[in-house]
Structure 1
Amino acid sequence: SQAETRQNPRYSLRRLPPLRFKMATDMDKLKELSAKKYADQAVAFMNVYWDKFYKNEKAREELWTWTNIFIKLDKKKEKGCELNEFDAHRFLEQIDETLSVKDMREFLRSVDIDFNKMVSLTEYLVSKFKVDWKVYINTPIGMDEKRQKELQDARNAVIQAKEKAENAMAEKKNSDKAAAEAKAAAEEVKAALAKVLSEEKKYQSKLAKHEKDSKDTSLGVVKRNKAANLLQQLKAKPTLSLQQAKITLQAAERKSTKAAKKAANAAIIAGEALKRAEQAFAEAEEKLKEILDKPVAGGNGSSWWLNREFEEAKKYMPKSKLAKMMKKRVKAEEKA
C-alpha cells in the first residue's frame, strides 16, 4: 500500500531502477586507440613496450619507418589512423613482406582485431611483436597528466617548427624561381639590346651609303636623286627590322622590371619565413631540452619520438642556419 511504502524506505528503494554505469570494454579501448593518429599509436606502443626499444636502435627506427609508410599510403596522411586491405598489402610490399592474395587475406583476418576490414598501426604492431592486445591496452604508461601536457606542448612546438620550416623552404623555392625568371628576363634584355645595336649599325651604314651616293658626282643624276630620296625615307622612318628590335627591347625591359620586382618581393618573403622558422626552432629546442632533461619513470617512448620528430624537422632547415643556431646555443650554455 502507499502507507506501507512511505513507512518502509527499504521497500521504496527496491522499487527504484538500479543505477547503471557503462564500462568501456577492451574492444572499446582498442578501437579508441586505433582511431588515434598514426604517430600517437606508435608512441603509445613504444611507451608500453619500451623494453623492446630502448636498447634497440634498429627497432626504434623501424617503427619510425613503418609509421611514416602508413602515413604516406593513407590519403589522410598524418591525420589517418588505419589502412584498407589494398594499402595494407602495399605496406607489406614496401617493407619486403610480400604475401600472396590468399595469405594476405589470412594475415588481415589475423591482424584485424576489431573486424572492420581495416588495419590500424596498433593492430599491425600487436601482430608484429606478438603481444596480447588486451594486456597492451590495459597497461598504464606511468605518466602523470602534467608530464603528458609538457610532452604535448613540446611536440606542438616541434610540429609548428617543422611547418614553419616547410613554409620557409617553399618560399625559398618560390624566391629561387623568381630570381631565375628575373635572370632570364635580364638575359632577354641583353639579347634584345644587342639586336637593337646590330640593327642600328646596319641602319647607320645604310644612311651613310645613301648620303655618300647622293653627293657622288661620279654617279648619274638619277642615281644621286634616288639615293637622296632613300636617305630622306630612312631618316623619316628607320628600317622595319630596327623598329621591331626596339619594340622587342622595350617589351623585354618591361618584363625584366616586373620580374626583378617580383624576385625582390619573393626574397623578402622568403627571408621573413626563414626568420619565423628559426624562431620556432629555437623555441622548440628550448622546450625539448627542458623536458628531456627531466628524469621520468614513464613515457620514454614519447620522449624518444619527440626528439626524433625534431631531428626530422631539421631536414627542412638550411644547414648554414642550423650551424648558426648550434653556435648560438653553445655560447648561451657557456655563459650560463
Structure 2
Amino acid sequence: MSSRFFFVFCLFVGVMSLPGNTDNEKLLALCAKPYKDQIIWFLNAFWHKIEDQAETLWQFKHKCEELDLEKHEEGNALDEMSAHRFLEIFNETMTVREMRAKLRSSGAIGEGRVPNVPITHILIFRFDIDWRYLVNASQGDNKEEIEKAQRMLEGVQAAYEESNERASEAAKAVIEAESREAASKRAEVEAKEREEEAHAAKAELEAALAELHAQESAYEQKTQTLTKKSEEGGVVSRNKAKNELAQHLGEDPLPLRKAKITQAAAVKKAERATLAAAEARTAAAEATKRATEAKEECKRTKEAAEKALEEAKQKLKEAEDYLNEVKSRPGQAQGAIWWIERELHEAKAYVPERKGGYRKK
C-alpha cells in the first residue's frame, strides 16, 4: 500500500493524550507529529467550530506535503520560505513574523529563534484559538470504533489499488493483444496471397516447360518419321525423305534443349518458393491462433479485475455505512471520522465515472 494511503491513527490508538508535563511540552509533541496527525488533532478539538473548514484543512495537509520537498507526508513543519509560500497560496494576509509574535505573546513559543513552522502554529494563528485548550482537548472515546474504521479504510484502499492496477493493466493488455491479433491476421492474409502467387507462377512455368517438352517430343517424332521414310518406299520418296531429314537435322536443337533446362530449373525454384510460402502461411495462421487465445485470456483477466473492482465498491459502501453509524453516537472523534470519510471519497477516484466514481481535478 502506498504511503499516501497508509493511516496510522496513533492519536486514537492507545495514546489519547499528548506526552509532556507542561502545556508547552505537549504543544511541542503535537507539532512533532506529521502534518496529517496535527490537523486531525485540531479537527477533533474544534470540530463544532470549524466543521465547515474541514475541506480547507484537507487542502492544507496536501499543500504542506507538496511544499516539504524533503520529507513530504512524513514532515511536520515547513521552512520559513515554504511557509511564506504556503500563506500566499491560501491568500493569508499574515506573515510568519506576525504569527510568531502572537504565539510568543500567548506563551506558545519562547523568545528564541524557531527555524521551522509547524502546521499547528499556522492553525492556532489563523483560527485564533486557545492553544492550551488544543493540547489538552479530548480526542473522543471511540478508540475501538476508530480502529475498526481504519481497518475498513485500509481494506478499501488496498482493494481499490489492487483492482484498479489489475484492471488498468488488463485493459492495456487487451488492446495490445487485439493489435497483435490484427497484425497476425494481416500477415496471414499476405502469406496466403504470396502462396497463391507462387502457385500461379509455378503453374505458368510448368505449362511453359510442358510446351518445351512437347516441342522436343515433336522434333524427335519428326526425326523418326523422316528416317523411316528415307529407308522405305520408292527411290523418289526415299530421296525426298532424305532431303527433308537432312534439313530437319540441320536445324540447331541447342536453343530448345537450353530453354528446357532453364525452364526446369525455374520450375524447381518455383516449387521451393511455393513450399516456403505455404510454410509462412501456416506459421502466420498459428501466430493468429496464439494471438486470439492471448486476447481471450486478457479479456478474462480484465473481467476478473472489473469484478474485483465491484467487490471493492461493496467494501467502500460497508465502510461508509459503518462510519455513518459511528457518527450518530455521542463522544466521537468527529474530525478523525471526517478524515476517514474524505479518504474513502478519494478512493472513489479509482472507480470509473460511469460506475459511481469521480474524476480528480
Quick check: TM above 0.5?
A: yes
Tell me how far apart the structure 2 counterparts of residues 51 and 96 of structure 1 sit (CA, whole Å). 24
1:267 pairs with 289, 294, 302, which one? 302
1:231 pairs with 237, 254, 267, which one? 267
Q: Secondary structure at the match of 1:40?
A: helix
Q: Tell me which residue corresponds to 1:199.
A: 194
Deviation at 1:108, TM superposition (A): 7.7
Deviation at 1:251, TM superposition (A): 8.8
1:176 pairs with 171, 180, 186, which one? 171
1:246 to 1:299, Cα distance in 2 relative to 1, 3 A: same
Q: RMSD value over aligned CA atoms?
A: 3.7
Equivalent pair of 2:31/2:38 in contact (CA under 8 Å): yes
Q: Out of 65-74 and 262-271, give the one that drifted further.
A: 262-271
Equivalent pair of 1:192/1:248 in contact (CA under 8 Å): no
Deviation at 1:272, TM superposition (A): 6.2
Between structure 1 and structure 2, the one with the greater Rg is 2
1:91 to 1:151, Cα distance in 2 relative to 1, 3 A: same
- Count of matched residue pairs: 290
1:298 to 1:234, Cα distance in 2 relative to 1, 3 A: closer
1:159 to 1:39, Cα distance in 2 relative to 1, 3 A: farther
Equivalent pair of 1:174/1:266 in contact (CA under 8 Å): no
1:263 to 1:93, Cα distance in 2 relative to 1, 3 A: farther
Q: Tell me which residue corresponds to 2:219.
A: none
1:121 to 1:267, Cα distance in 2 relative to 1, 3 A: same
The amino acid across from 2:37 in the alignment is: D
Deviation at 1:95, TM superposition (A): 3.0
1:288 pairs with 295, 304, 323, which one? 323
1:149 to 1:41, Cα distance in 2 relative to 1, 3 A: farther
Tell me how far apart the structure 1 counterparts of residues 90 and 148 of structure 2 sit (CA, whole Å). 33
Gaps of 5+ in 1: 1-21, 324-336
1:267 to 1:152, Cα distance in 2 relative to 1, 3 A: same
Q: Tell me which residue corresponds to 2:334.
A: 300
Tell me how far apart the structure 2 counterparts of residues 253 and 108 of structure 1 sit (CA, whole Å). 70
The amino acid across from 1:310 in the alignment is: L
2:77 pairs with 1:82? yes
The amino acid across from 1:290 in the alignment is: E
2:39 pairs with 1:42? yes
1:182 to 1:73, Cα distance in 2 relative to 1, 3 A: farther
Q: Tell me which residue corresponds to 2:236.
A: none
Deviation at 1:93, TM superposition (A): 4.8
1:249 to 1:90, Cα distance in 2 relative to 1, 3 A: farther
Tell me how far apart the structure 2 counterparts of residues 132 and 232 of structure 1 sit (CA, whole Å). 100
Q: Secondary structure at the match of 1:24?
A: coil
Q: Tell me which residue corresponds to 1:9.
A: none
1:84 to 1:201, Cα distance in 2 relative to 1, 3 A: farther
1:79 to 1:252, Cα distance in 2 relative to 1, 3 A: farther
1:200 to 1:164, Cα distance in 2 relative to 1, 3 A: same
Mapping for residues 2-21 of structure 1, pairs under 5 Å = none
Tell me how far apart the structure 2 counterparts of residues 267 and 247 of structure 1 sit (CA, whole Å). 30
Q: Secondary structure at the match of 2:115?
A: coil
Q: Out of 22-31 and 228-237, give the one that drifted further.
A: 22-31
The amino acid across from 1:292 in the alignment is: K
Deviation at 1:317, TM superposition (A): 2.7
Tell me how far apart the structure 2 counterparts of residues 98 and 216 of structure 1 sit (CA, whole Å). 103
Tell me how far apart the structure 1 counterparts of residues 92 and 165 of structure 2 sit (CA, whole Å). 36
Q: Tell me which residue corresponds to 2:131.
A: 133
TM-score relative to the length of structure 2: 0.66
1:265 to 1:124, Cα distance in 2 relative to 1, 3 A: farther
Deviation at 1:85, TM superposition (A): 3.8
Equivalent pair of 2:99/2:125 in contact (CA under 8 Å): no
2:60 pairs with 62, 66, 70, which one? 66
Deviation at 1:177, TM superposition (A): 1.5
Deviation at 1:291, TM superposition (A): 0.7
Percent of aligned positions that are identical: 28
2:347 pairs with 295, 310, 313, which one? 313
Tell me how far apart the structure 2 counterparts of residues 244 and 117 of structure 1 sit (CA, whole Å). 77
1:137 to 1:154, Cα distance in 2 relative to 1, 3 A: same
The amino acid across from 2:24 in the alignment is: M
Equivalent pair of 1:157/1:284 in contact (CA under 8 Å): yes
Tell me how far apart the structure 1 counterparts of residues 115 and 286 of structure 2 sit (CA, whole Å). 62
Tell me how far apart the structure 1 counterparts of residues 62 and 197 of structure 2 sit (CA, whole Å). 66
1:302 to 1:188, Cα distance in 2 relative to 1, 3 A: same
